[in-house]
Amino acid sequence: MLTVVILAAGKGTRMVSSKPKVLFDLAGKKMIDYPISVALSLKPKKIIVVLGNKAEEVEEYISKYKVDIVIQKAQLGTADAVKTALPKIVAGSKVLILSGDMPLIDKDLLTTFIDETTSDVSFISTKVDNPEGYGRVLRASKQDVIKIVEEKDCNENEKNIHEINSGIYLSTLSKLKELLKGVKPNNSQKEYYLTDIIMHGSGSFISKESEKFLGVNTREQLSVVSKKLWLMRAKYHLNNGVDIIDPTNCYLDDDIVIGTDTEIYPNVTIKSGSKIGKNCKIFNNSVIDNSIIADDVEIKYGSVIESSKIGSKSTVGPMARLRPGTVLKGLNKIGNFVEIKESEFGIGSQASHLSYIGDATIGKDVNLGCGFITCNYDGASKHKTVVGNNVFVGSDVQLIAPIKVGDNVLIAAGSTIVKDINSSDLAVARSEQKNIKGAGLKYLTKNKKKKR
């Protein structure tokens, strides 16, 4: 039986922010999402999150998880944080202690640590080239652990040790309670260090995967860890049949799905909830957020797609924007500088350039000309536009909603349509053109004199 305690009470002073450190965005999630997610993957009896700085904000965010929360009212150190969690720990369980700012820890590593630990109290260590900032692991000549010394309390010889403490511990509850009683603030920070529960007889698990223990204490470290996560995800998709032109310049959230033989070009962002089909092309600088894209779709340069569905063999962009509620049934062409919102396009319909379509249902095989606009908002309410099948709409046409256009309709360029159009009709709504002889030259000449 396992209880997981996540320590997330720190102020994160080096982040230089009023925001709690664990709520910083990190590769598509909040930092606190990572330790909670890995803890959930272990299927423990209970997860306890210790909060302190800006506890209300963090508690509100993590309310989506089934976790217990305790508050460390005063920042007295990591041992004190664990003490606050003791009353909620399940009796008779082993206690796994994680840090809230180590997002690279994974299930496999923790499972191996738990399975191989036989001591009543143990911790994970690793060896690094540059141990600066980490507690050092002191060992006796027989390699038995003596203790862990935090860097601020190290002497010069101890600073040269390259084995560091990861901050991950496993203990029986009874042993943890016993050891916490003996922790004293005898250090430069006058804090209760959790490292002090490690002493002669403690177990240690040495991991060779040192990168997994990277913590986040500064914005620079946040950037470094984010890049590692994005690269790991890119490699995962590469190994599953996706072509990624530049894995170091690709921003993929961890729950997305991408089909085989899809090509991802540089500087593409694909956010949570998205599913991309097979044989697609996602070109540079595009953003896809919480959207479903079928097979054989091209998303061209600089397009933004949010909470939308795109049918097979469609093309979108360049520089198109599909806002939430957009549905393209398939074989659609949405061109440059077209914006669509809460609208459905039937199979084969297209809007090739410079258009706005909002709150509309567009039928099959419809052509919307350049500069087409659905005027869906009257200043107080949104109204619906319905266009039938096989309709051709000329350039610079406005449909004033609410309005219905039947099948097989032709709407002349430059028309502002305010009435419904029956099927098979031609609609023209233009004022009569008048040519006033010589007035153009007179006007232009007058303006030139003014400019002088």
Burial bucket for residue 431 (CB in 10 Å: 0-12, 13-18, 19+)? exposed
DSSP assignment letter at 152:
G
CA distance 377 to 233: 42
CA distance 79 to 85: 10
| Residue 253 CA from chain centroid, whole number | 5
Classify the C-alpha dihedral 161-166-167-170 as positive or negative.
Answer: negative
CA distance 216 to 158: 23
Half-sphere exposure of residue 114: CA atoms within 13 angstroms, side-chain side: 21
The residue assigned the tokens 């976790």 is 67
Yes or no: say if 434 and 440 are a contact pair by the CB < 8 Å rule: no
User: Quick count: other Cβ atoms within 10 Å of Cβ 119?
Assistant: 16
| 249-252-255 Cα angle (round to 5) | 165
| 162 is annotated as an active-site residue | no
CA distance 347 to 314: 9
DSSP assignment letter at 102:
-
Give the active site residue among 200, 237, 353, 383.
Answer: 353
Pairing of strands 94-99, 163-172: antiparallel
DSSP string for 357-403? EESEEE-TT-EEPTT-EEE-B-SS-B--EEE-SS-EE-SS-EEESSE
Considering just the CA atoms, what is the radius of gyration of the chain in Å?
31
Nearest to residue 327, comparing CAs of 289, 282, 376, 361? 361
| Residues taking part in catalysis | 353
